Amino acid sequence: MTGFAALPQRDNAEGAPRRVGLEIEMGGLPEAEAARICARELGGRAVQEDSHIWAVEESALGRVEVYLDIFLRKAQQSRLRDLALDLGREVVPVEIVTAPLDMAGMARLDDLRDALRAAGALGSGAGLVFGFGVHFNIEVASETDADTVRPLMAYALIEDWLRSAYPIDESRRLLPFTDPYPTDFVRALVEAGPGAARDEVTGLYLALTPSRNRGLDMLPLLAHFDGPRVAAAISDKTSARPTFHFRLPDCRIDEAAWSLALEWRRWIAVEQVARDEALLRRLSDAWLDDHGLVTLSRQGWAMRAGRILQTAGICGA
């Protein structure tokens, strides 16, 4: 069983371990076979709930959903809908979705990779249009302004370094699912500072980057605190929940050296930065110095941020 690095702040405000829900997108396997493999490896029963929707009930990780990840699956079942789903199978991922897990549960899920890969699961690099990813839904440490704002600010400041240190597969880079935050948003966030109120930051987010297609999609969390305000600002449907929706840029489930534990290090680095206000301010000052009035290249900042993180002893820098 692969070990997962513990969150810097392990417990939530109630003193219970923080949990993380996972979404894994892949190709190469029909949803029925993927569900049966999950049941075999995790225990429980694979149950078909619709023509393209399966669930594994009573597994070691609780309920696990397995389905073809396309909006049509939610439409009323018909021969036309099922035909459209079948035709899209070549490019639409099968998604495995878990309930919120503790670190031991995440490690158990990571062990499932070998069985899926052996059965023919494919990752992002297997095709030019395979825009597969992995999503972590990380429970917030608390509902205070600081525990919302500082992780967002930390991510915005080191996003270019994350994208450089953990390169994105070219097939995923061409697709819009995890676009970087725009420079004007990062500048506004830096100017607001790590002590900014969540209400102020919500306004900046909705004004300057009102999109689900970000590496850190904050809209579900912001909607948890102020659903009507988010609904009025964007047309995309947003499921409100008290979690950071961290969208990894690709899924390499067919590569033996790849693991969820390896990808998890990205978020650990974000929270390490978020908990160090002096480091946040150092990165902020350096970001402003680096960018000036016009940003010509993100690569230069990625390298500079990496040096700052390395000096601070941040994991992976």
pLDDT of 133 above 60 = yes
Mean pLDDT of 180-194: 95
Quick one: tokens of 228?
Answer: 């009507």
- Once rounded to an integer, what is the mean pLDDT over residues 55-73? 82
pLDDT of residue 210: 94
Region of poorest pLDDT, from 4-8, 164-168, 222-226, 242-246: 164-168
Q: Provide the Cα torsion 114, 118, 124, 128; round to 10°.
A: 170
CB 172: neighbour CB atoms within 10 A?
A: 21
Look at residue 11 and tell me whether its pLDDT is greater than 70: yes
pLDDT of residue 68: 81
- Whole-number percent of the chain with pLDDT over 70: 84
Per-residue pLDDT at 86:
53
> Helix-strand-coil percent breakdown of the chain, rounded to 5?
50, 15, 35
pLDDT in tens, 89-115: 555 789 999 999 999 999 999 999 999
Place of tokens 């990165």: 283
Average pLDDT rounded to a whole number, residues 22-32: 91
pLDDT of 9 over the 70 cut: yes
The answer to whether residue 74 scores a pLDDT higher than 50 is no
pLDDT band at 81 (very low <50, low <70, confident <90, very high): very low
Q: Which amino acid is at 40?
A: R
Average pLDDT, the chain: 87
> Above 90 in pLDDT, residue 152?
yes
Model pLDDT, residue 130: 59
pTM: predicted TM-score of the whole model, two decimal places = 0.90
Q: Is 50 exceeded by the pLDDT of residue 190?
A: yes
49 in helix, strand or coil?
A: strand
The pair of three-digit structure tokens given for residue 77, joined into one six-digit string: 């079942």
CA atoms within 13 A on the CB side of 68: 27
The yes-or-no verdict on residue 120 having pLDDT over 50 is yes
What pLDDT score was predicted for residue 32? 93
The amino acid that residue 256 corresponds to is A
What pLDDT is attached to residue 63?
Answer: 97
